[in-house]
Amino acid sequence: MGAPPNILFIITDQQRFDHLGAAGLTGIKTPNLDRLATEGVHLTRGYCPSPICTPTRLSMLTGLYPSSHGGYSIGVTPDPFPEKTIPAALSSVGYKTGIIGKTHFVTRPEEEAHMAGGEKPDPSFFRDWNGPYAGFDYIQASTGHTVNHIPAMHYRQFLEDAGVDYQPWFPQMGEHYDHEFSGAWNIPAEYHDTTWVTDRTAEFIEQNKDQPWYCWASYQDPHEPFVCPEPYYSMVDTDKMPSYEFARPGEFDDKPSFYQKLSQRQVSEFDDGNGVPCVFPSERHEQDQKECMQATLGMIAFLDEKLGELLAKLEETRQLDNTLIVFTSDHGEMHGHHGFWGKGMTAYEDCQRVPLLVWGPKLFSRKGDCDSLVSLVDLPATFLEMAGVQEYPHLQGQNLLPLLNEEVEKVQDEVIVECRANQFKLNQYTLVTSTHKLVIFHGYELGELYDLESDPDQYTNLWNSPEHQALKAELMERLVRKRMATEPHFAPRKVFA
C-alpha cells in the first residue's frame, strides 16, 4: 500500500449545484472545475445535510447530522462543542491538518472568543496564534461575505500588514451600508478573501509536502451580497447568463402556509426573537437580477482561476498524484427562483443540492458524471477511510470509496436533509430518492411530495393526490427507517443494569 493521500477539501459558500461548466453553466468558463469533473467524478446528485451554513459545516467537521452534533442553525453554538472531530482523527494517524478561511462552527459574535478559548481577544492575538482549533493543528481564519464583511482574525492582520486602507472596500465599517447592493466591487483582487485563502492554502501545501496533510480551504464566495472585483465582473458574457423563473401566480396554494407567508415577508410568527434564517423575497434583487447573476458568475470565475493555482502548486511540489481533491459548497442559493433569494427552509433543489466534484485519477477508477445519491455527511467517512483511520466514534454518513472505485453503483437509496431554522418554530425533514422528494414539517399537517423526474422544479405538490397516497406512505416509512439508522449514539452500555 502506498503513502496515505493528502486531502484538499475546498468548500465555497452558497454555490448552486448547476453553477459549474460541467453542469451546463454558460456565461463564464470554468476550466479547472471542469477538469475535476471530467478527470475525476462529478456527483450530480449531491445534497447538503442542512441548507444553512453552521449545521452543514459542523456535519463536515464531525461526520454527524445536525440533529446529532447540536449546531442545528446559524446563531447556535453547540454546547458542548464537539471534541471528536475529523481533523483530530486524521492528526492521530500522522496527518498535518489545517483550515483556512471561513469556519462558522459557532455563532458569528463568538467566533474569536471561541478560538481564543475564552474572552474575545485583542485583534493582535491573531498575528501570532495559528491554532490548534476544533481538532485542526493549524488555522488562518476570516469571517463574513464580500461587502457584508468587517475584516477580522488572520485576514485583518493580512490587510494591516499590507499597509492598505481597507475601510472603503467594506462599507459596513462606514456610515453607508447596503446589504442588497449588487455589481462590481472596488476591492483589488490581490486583497480579496479569495486570493488570501488561496495563497495561505498554497503555503500550507508547500510547507507540509513531506508528510500527509488534510487542508480545508474555505472560501466566502459566491455568497450574497452579490459583488465581484474586476476583472472578473466584466469577463462575464451577460448574454449567456442563466436565469430562473420567478414565482408563478398561485404556485404556493398547495404548499404549507408558510410558503405564502414567506413570499409576503409575513414571518413574525416564525421569529424566535433573533430573526428567521430562511429564504426571502427581494424586490431589489429582482430588479437587479442581471447584476446579481453577473457578480455571482464573476465570483465563480475568480474561484476557478484560484483553483488552477492550487493545482499548479500541487504539481510543482510533486504532490498532485497523491492528493484527493474534493470541491463542494455548504448549500445552494435560490437566486430568484420561485421568487426567493438565499437559502433555508423551503425544500427546493436550488438550496438543498450542491456542486460536488471528487478528483483523484491515481486514487480511484470512476470518471465523469455519476447520478448516485450522496450527502456531504458522507465525506468525513470517506476521508477517514482513505487515510486509514481504524477507530473513530459513530459516523452517520456512507463511505464513498466503493462508489468511486466502481465496486457499486450506489451507496444508499435515499438521503436526508434536515432544516431546523430555529429551536421550536420551524423544523423540517426532507427525504430524497432517485425519483421523488418527500418533505414533512413539525406543526403542519400538510407536507410536500414531488416527482423530481417530471417536475424537477417542484411546482406540483402531490401530497394530497389520491393516486400517490401509497407512495407517500412508502416514503414516510423510508424516512423513519433512515432516521433510525442515523440516530445519535451516546455512551456505550457497560453492564446489564
- DSSP letters of 373-434? EEETTHHHHHHHHHHT----S---S---HHHHTTS-S-S-SEEEEEEESSSSS-EEEEEEES
pLDDT, one tens digit per residue, over 368-400 is 999 999 999 999 999 999 999 988 878 999 999
Bridge partner residues of 142 (DSSP) = 102
- Give me the pLDDT at residue 442, please: 86
What's at 242, amino acid-wise? P
Distance CA 300, CA 185 (A): 15
d(CA 483, CA 89): 25
Q: Measure the CA–CA gap between 65 and 58, rounded to whole angstroms.
A: 8
- pLDDT band with cut points at 50, 70 and 90 for residue 427: confident
Buried b (16+ CB within 10 A) or exposed e, 347-373: bbbbbbbbbbbbbbeebbebbeebebb
Give the three-class secondary structure for 359. Answer: strand
User: 449 in helix, strand or coil?
Assistant: strand
Distance CA 73, CA 107 (A): 9
Q: What local confidence, expressed as pLDDT, does residue 56 receive? A: 97
pLDDT class of 403 with cuts at 50, 70, 90: very high
Instruction: Give 316's Cβ-side CA count (13 Å radius).
Output: 11
Output the pLDDT for position 457: 97
**pLDDT score for 273:** 81
Question: Strand 427-433 vs strand 436-441: parallel, antiparallel, or unpaired?
Answer: antiparallel
Per-residue pLDDT at 133: 97
**Going along 219-311, which residue ranges are E strands?**
227-229
- In this prediction, residue 424 carries a pLDDT of 74
What is the DSSP code string of 197-244? HHHHHHHHHHHTTTS-EEEEEE--TTPSS-EEETTTTTTS-GGG----
**pLDDT single digits (tens) 79-98:** 899 989 999 999 999 999 99
Q: Write the DSSP symbol of residue 46.
A: E
Distance CA(77)–CA(106), nearest Å, equals 4
Residue 1 has pLDDT above 60, yes or no: no
Q: How confident is the model at residue 443 (pLDDT cuts 50, 70, 90)?
A: confident
Q: What is the dihedral of CA 475, 468, 49, 429, to 10 degrees?
A: -80
Single pTM value for the model: 0.96
Nearest to 40 by CA among 16, 8, 13, 4: 8
Helical segments of 438-495, H only: 469-485
- Is the predicted pLDDT of residue 117 greater than 90, yes or no? yes
Average of per-residue pLDDT values in the chain: 94
Q: Is the pLDDT of residue 415 over 80?
A: yes
Q: For residue range 447-492, what is the model confidence (pLDDT) as tens digits? A: 999 999 999 999 999 999 999 999 999 999 999 999 988 877 667 7
Are the beta carbons of 113 and 120 closer than 8 angstroms?
Answer: yes
